Structure 1
Amino acid sequence: MIDRNIIGKENEPEYHEVEKGAIRKFATAIEDDNPVYHNEEYAKQKGYPSLLAPLTFPTTFRGKIQEWFKNLDKNRLLHGEQEYHYERRFYAGERIKLVEKVADVYEKKGKNGMMTFIIRDREGYDEADKKLFTERSTFIVREDKRT
């Protein structure tokens, strides 16, 4: 059972520098050869100020692990889904402020027992404090059948 009091818990903002090398490396890892992710001159010709970050690039932003996540049994943890909503794409050279909070916790009975769903939202802001994106992730914690 996950404590529902984690709903609404928000972390202190964390800041992430978006680097050209990180964009290229990520695009290569996801096997996306679009030149706007690899060639800065090409990206500028297309009207971007620098290399464009791929849509799922925010998954690379790692920061302080939140207390609620530390307490989960990782052997029973599944990644449910992840979605992104963008207000504006971002580029190499930008500094992103990232704020994370737990949006919801609920349980469902599945064919293999109870499952707890944790919905986490992460919002990214530019240096003018304008929202760039919202990332929503669903974590599923399977019931511990040993108890």
Structure 2
Amino acid sequence: MFTNWIGLCSVKVKNVIERYTVRQFAESIGDSHPIFIDEETGRKSIYKQNIAPPTFPRLFDYGMIEGMDLPNNGLIHGEQIYHYERPLLVGEIIYCYQEVKDYYEKTGRHGVMGFLIIQRYGETEGGHLIFTAKQVVILNETVRKEVKKDEKSHRTE
């Protein structure tokens, strides 16, 4: 079922790491480390400016993958793994996109569960990779059936 999505990518989307948003995010996750919010601390750091918290890329726009229509409700967030080449700097522009890497199913107590693996990327304007984020989205039996039904109806239209 969803294996035809493997390899599909979104187009790159421009994201700006804004100081105010970094401050709000840091406060919302309860991490008020000065490297994120205090400009003087940022200037004195090895980065010479403030950086964003490691999970900040959750806020980025990664674009839509054409043809991949998942419901807004009923999905289960399985895991999120970040890998950084360097920290994200406040004020910089990041180009982000996502790719469907894999899909597999497992049968459990509540029926068949689908596991959709999405890899997200953040790059500089020049295309230098800054981070990747692997996301596992779990589709329970109800969601799988709904998406499958929607796929069939789109094919017959």
Both structures adopt the same fold (TM-score exceeding 0.5)? yes
d(CA) in 1 for partners of 2:91 and 2:50?
9
Decide which of 123, 134, 143 is 2:132's aligned counterpart: 134
Match of 2:76 in 1: 78
Deviations 1:72-107 (A, max 9, x none): 244431111001011111111110011210000110
Counterparts of 1:93-132 in structure 2, within 5 Å, are 93-132=91-130
Match of 1:54 in 2: 53
Deviations 1:91-134 (A, max 9, x none): 11110011210000110011111000000000111233211000
d(CA) in 2 for partners of 1:23 and 1:66?
27
d(CA) in 2 for partners of 1:67 and 1:113?
28
d(CA) in 1 for partners of 2:73 and 2:108?
18
Look up the equivalent residue of 2:81 and give its one-letter code.
E
Kindly indicate whether the alpha-carbon contact (under 8 Å) linking 2:12 and 2:63 is maintained by their aligned counterparts in 1.
Answer: no
Match of 1:28 in 2: 27
Cα displacement (A) at 1:67:
4.0
Look up the equivalent residue of 1:95 and give its one-letter code.
I
- Paired residues in the alignment total 144
Kindly indicate whether the alpha-carbon contact (under 8 Å) linking 1:50 and 1:93 is maintained by their aligned counterparts in 2.
Answer: no
d(CA) in 2 for partners of 1:19 and 1:37?
11
Cα displacement (A) at 1:68:
4.9
Higher helix residue share:
2
* Alignment TM-score, normalising by the size of structure 2: 0.84
Q: Secondary structure at the match of 1:144?
A: helix
Percent identity over the alignment?
36
Gaps of 5+ in 2: 146-157
The runs of at least 4 consecutive aligned structure 1 residues that moved more than 4 Å come to none
Kindly indicate whether the alpha-carbon contact (under 8 Å) linking 1:49 and 1:91 is maintained by their aligned counterparts in 2.
Answer: no
Q: Secondary structure at the match of 2:49?
A: coil
Name the Cα RMSD after superposition. Answer: 1.7
